[in-house]
């Protein structure tokens, strides 16, 4: 056994757990640190917003102060005198103006302009422009030098101050403000030494543009830095403490747990070689943990008990083998015993030249019996069947129950005729039993399939069960013997049941409607050839091939799809009626299986035909070969459908379970005689019986239909027996077209000419 299967050692798990604790702590520390950084970032963002608001207020104050300075300068009387008499302006500007209180130290330069915006004198090396627009522009920032300066202009009015007379001139100043921002104001949030302005693409800016271009750094927050340092130190200290703890925890785990467990594991390994009497002694200080000592004591006690248990295992093994290879209900061998028997059969027989026959027995419609009478009655039926078969078997032959209601027998040294006799005796024993004692009212039907092979033919032995299955399904079909021996012809006929392609095609057609079509065969008035109605027959088209009923219905019965098939057929017939594929004035009959007749939703499924009952005759054919145990529910459904306007027909009369019982208890309008009874009209003995039976049913008020009319002789016999209607290849084969209302004939001799239809 490799290491992956044995798992990891406890030391590995200890390392894993220590690593997991460290990882969890590191993750928590990282999360805490990231949260702190997030809060710190939010605080810095708040401080930045406050700093911008703070510097904005300072800049607004400086601008207002500069404008006030220019206002005072414009109102100075000497400025007005210079405008009135500018002859001495150059002297006045250089001597008087520079030494006056009207120019604070932050003013770089000042200038006086006339009404046209020209300086009163042209002087060299001036900081103010020689000419400005009249009127001058609003205050703006000049960024032509290394630091920006503010240029402010104001008009100068006369003595009266009458603004309506217009200005006499203008004054302007260039003012430094950056140093004032850095040195003359106290800031709470920003560091004034870091105040700078980003240079734009041009040399002049408006004051709002300058405010958006300001740059600075925030003051250091001692509290944030202290908390950050404290948190970082705490995380580091905890990491060191946890690392030391982890280093101490690992050897402690190894010493206290791993070493004792290794000692116990080594003892268990020794028990594999010496299972009896070996006890684990106390290991002294190696096991300092009380729980470990308890494990040692329990292991020793278990070792003693295991010795006692081992003694009784041999006694129980034989009993368990018998229980595992026998069916608890019937006492027959079970499927496991059967598989082992078939696998070992070639070795058991050796070189003996013997014939082997496989017999498979199955109860027809056992599920319906089980559902109707209960599982306890079903169990009693299986016990009786097993007992009756066992009473016929020869010495040394064993009965196997290989499925719910399937029993198998392997007959050795037995040819075909002997095997048939044994199977028929089993069948007679079963059907001869009075199952009425169990409360079952219907006769119990058994189907048996047989297949034989030679011992020296291994391929035949391996296909015995399959061949018996094929024969048994043939025995289940109406009109066949209850005991059938396999032939190659049967395999060809039953290939649909065992073909995955056919199974899939039938399943898709029933469940999804893929390829499902209806063929219609006429039921004709035997007197004048009028088509009374058509019987809807199921066909399946798949990949260009037509799947016949002989392949469809075995699959449907084997997979329990009767109800689903009926629903699909009902839907397809409704579609054909809506598309006008059936001749108005005729009608259609639809076959319903036993499970559909007793289904609680059958009336709802057929409600779509209500709209067509005024133009078409719609008949529901109940298959008499289907076992209907819930007669009461079937009567309720059929009575309701009959009241809605549907006609009820009993199909295949005379070939199934309880023809007279169904006829007497269910609401039936039409009785369709099975083909075996109709063809029996050609035999004198059978003709009298069928004729009297037909007369009795006709006198009770039922309409009669003869099935299987395929030639003129049967047609004459059916007419002579009193049948008014008939169905068969003589009148027409099933076809997708149902557009005729009459088969033209005046007498019997004219009828065969219409066979081409």
**Per-residue pLDDT tens for 88-101?**
888 888 888 877 77
Of the three residues 192, 218, 244, the one that is the final residue of a domain is 218
Q: Which residues of the chain have pLDDT under 50?
A: 1-4, 284, 286-287, 657-658, 746-757
Q: For position 645, what pLDDT does the model report?
A: 92
Q: What is the pTM of this model?
A: 0.46
Instruction: Note whether 32 and 231 are within 8 A (CB).
Output: yes
Quote the strand ranges of 654-702, DSSP E.
Answer: 670-673
Tell me if 191 is assigned to some domain.
yes
Tell me if 170 is assigned to some domain.
yes
Alpha-carbon dihedral sign for residues 369, 373, 374, 376: negative
Are residues 105 and 214 part of one domain?
yes
Are residues 407 and 339 part of one domain?
yes
Are residues 426 and 529 part of one domain?
no
- Give the C-alpha separation, 491 to 391, whole Å: 31
Are residues 142 and 75 part of one domain?
yes
Tell me if 286 is assigned to some domain.
no
Cα 601 to its chain centre, rounded Å, is: 28
CATH of the domain at 678: 3.20.20.450
Are residues 544 and 444 part of one domain?
no
Tell me if 340 is assigned to some domain.
yes
Of the three residues 170, 203, 218, the one that is the final residue of a domain is 218
Tell me if 70 is assigned to some domain.
yes
Are residues 525 and 395 part of one domain?
no
Total of domains in the chain? 3
Q: For position 520, what pLDDT does the model report?
A: 92
Are residues 532 and 415 part of one domain?
no
Spatial neighbors of 286 by CB under 8 A, at least 6 apart, are 259, 260, 263
Tell me if 2 is assigned to some domain.
no
Are residues 544 and 425 part of one domain?
no
What residues make up the domain containing 664? 520-756
Phi-psi sector, 304: left (phi>0), alpha (psi -120 to 50), beta: alpha
CATH of the domain at 357: 3.30.70.270
Three state DSSP letters for 377-439: HHHHHHHHHHHHHHHHCCCCCCEEECCCCEEEEEEECCCHHHHHHHHHHHHHHHHCCCHHHHC
Tell me if 316 is assigned to some domain.
no
Residue environment code for 233-262, b if the CB has 16+ CB neighbours within 10 A, otherwise e: eebeeeeeebeeebeeebeebbeebbebee
Are residues 543 and 431 part of one domain?
no
Are residues 540 and 443 part of one domain?
no
- Give the C-alpha separation, 282 to 287, whole Å: 8
Q: For position 249, what pLDDT does the model report?
A: 67
CATH of the domain at 22: 3.30.450.20
Q: For position 4, what pLDDT does the model report?
A: 42
Are residues 436 and 374 part of one domain?
yes
Are residues 541 and 484 part of one domain?
no
- Whole-angstrom Cα Rg for the chain: 56
Q: For position 756, what pLDDT does the model report?
A: 27
Nearest to 117 by CA among 181, 172, 55: 172
Tell me if 555 is assigned to some domain.
yes
């Amino acid at each position: 056994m490799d290491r992956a299967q044995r798992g990891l050692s406890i030391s590995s798990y200890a390392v894993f757990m220590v690593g997991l604790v460290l990882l969890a702590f590191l993750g928590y520390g990282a999360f805490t640190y990231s949260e702190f950084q997030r809060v710190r970032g939010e605080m810095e963002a708040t401080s930045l917003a406050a700093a911008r608001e703070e510097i904005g207020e300072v800049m607004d104050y400086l601008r207002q102060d500069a404008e006030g300075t220019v206002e005072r300068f414009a109102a100075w009387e000497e400025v007005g005198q210079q405008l009135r008499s500018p002859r001495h302006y150059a002297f006045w500007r250089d001597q008087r103006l520079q030494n006056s209180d009207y120019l604070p130290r932050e003013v770089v330069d000042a200038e006086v302009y006339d009404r046209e915006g020209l300086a009163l004198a042209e002087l060299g090396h001036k900081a103010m422009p020689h000419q400005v627009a009249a009127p001058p522009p609003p205050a703006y920032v000049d960024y032509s030098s290394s630091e920006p300066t503010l240029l402010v202009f104001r008009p100068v009015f006369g003595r009266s101050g009458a603004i309506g007379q217009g200005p006499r001139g203008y004054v302007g100043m260039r003012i430094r403000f950056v140093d004032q921002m850095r040195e003359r104001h106290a800031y709470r949030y920003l560091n004034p030494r870091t105040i700078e302005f980003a240079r734009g693409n041009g040399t002049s800016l408006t004051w709002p543009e300058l405010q958006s271009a300001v740059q600075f750094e925030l003051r250091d927050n001692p509290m944030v830095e202290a908390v950050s340092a404290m948190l970082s130190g705490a995380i580091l200290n905890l990491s060191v403490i946890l690392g030391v703890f982890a280093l101490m925890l690992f050897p402690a785990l190894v010493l206290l747990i791993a070493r004792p467990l290794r000692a116990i594991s080594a003892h268990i390994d020794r028990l594999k070689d010496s299972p009896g009497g070996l006890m684990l002694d106390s290991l002294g200080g190696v096991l300092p943990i009380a729980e470990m000592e308890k494990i040692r004591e329990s292991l020793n006690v278990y070792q003693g008990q295991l010795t006692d248990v081992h003694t009784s295992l041999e006694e129980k093994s034989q009993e368990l083998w018998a229980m595992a290879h026998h069916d608890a209900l019937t006492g027959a061998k079970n499927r496991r015993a059967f598989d082992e028997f078939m696998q070992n059969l070639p070795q058991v027989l050796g070189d003996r030249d013997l014939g082997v026959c496989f017999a498979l027995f199955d109860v027809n419609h056992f599920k319906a019996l089980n559902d109707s009478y209960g599982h306890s009655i079903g169990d009693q039926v299986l016990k009786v069947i097993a007992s009756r078969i066992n009473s016929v078997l020869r010495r040394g032959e064993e009965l196997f129950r290989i499925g719910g209601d399937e029993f198998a027998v392997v007959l050795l040294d037995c040819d075909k005729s002997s095997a048939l006799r044994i199977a028929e005796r089993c069948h007679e024993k079963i059907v001869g039993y009075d199952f009425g004692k169990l409360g079952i009212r219907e006769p119990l039907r058994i189907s048996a399939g047989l297949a034989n092979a030679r011992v020296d033919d291994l391929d035949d032995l391996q296909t015995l069960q399959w061949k018996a299955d094929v024969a048994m399904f043939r025995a289940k079909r109406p009109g066949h013997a209850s005991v059938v021996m396999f032939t190659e012809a049967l395999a060809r006929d039953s290939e649909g049941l065992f073909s995955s392609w056919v199974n899939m095609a039938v399943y898709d057609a029933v469940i999804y409607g893929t390829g499902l079509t209806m063929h219609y065969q006429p039921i004709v008035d035997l007197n004048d050839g009028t088509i009374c109605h058509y019987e809807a027959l199921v066909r399946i088209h798949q990949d260009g091939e037509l799947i016949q009923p002989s392949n469809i219905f075995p699959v449907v019965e084997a997979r329990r799809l009767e109800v689903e098939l009926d629903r699909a057929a009902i839907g397809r017939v409704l579609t054909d009626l809506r598309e006008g594929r059936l001749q108005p004035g005729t009608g259609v009959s639809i076959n319903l299986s036993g499970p559909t007749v007793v289904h609680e939703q059958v009336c709802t499924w057929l409600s779509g035909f209500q709209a067509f009952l005024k133009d078409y005759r719609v008949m529901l054919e109940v298959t008499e070969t289907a076992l209907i145990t819930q007669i009461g529910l079937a009567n309720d459904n059929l009575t309701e459908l009959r009241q809605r306007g549907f006609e009820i027909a009993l199909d295949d009369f005379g070939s199934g379970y309880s023809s007279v019982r169904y006829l007497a208890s269910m609401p039936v309008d039409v009785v369709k005689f099975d083909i075996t009874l109709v063809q029996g009209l050609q035999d004198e003995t059978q003709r009298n019986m069928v004729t009297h039976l037909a007369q009795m049913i006709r006198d009770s008020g039922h309409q009669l239909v003869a099935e299987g009319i395929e030639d003129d002789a049967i047609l004459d016999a059916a007419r002579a027996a009193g049948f008014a209607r008939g169905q068969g290849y003589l009148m027409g084969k099933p076809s997708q077209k149902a557009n005729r209302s009459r088969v033209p004939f005046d007498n019997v001799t004219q009828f065969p000419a219409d066979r081409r239809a």
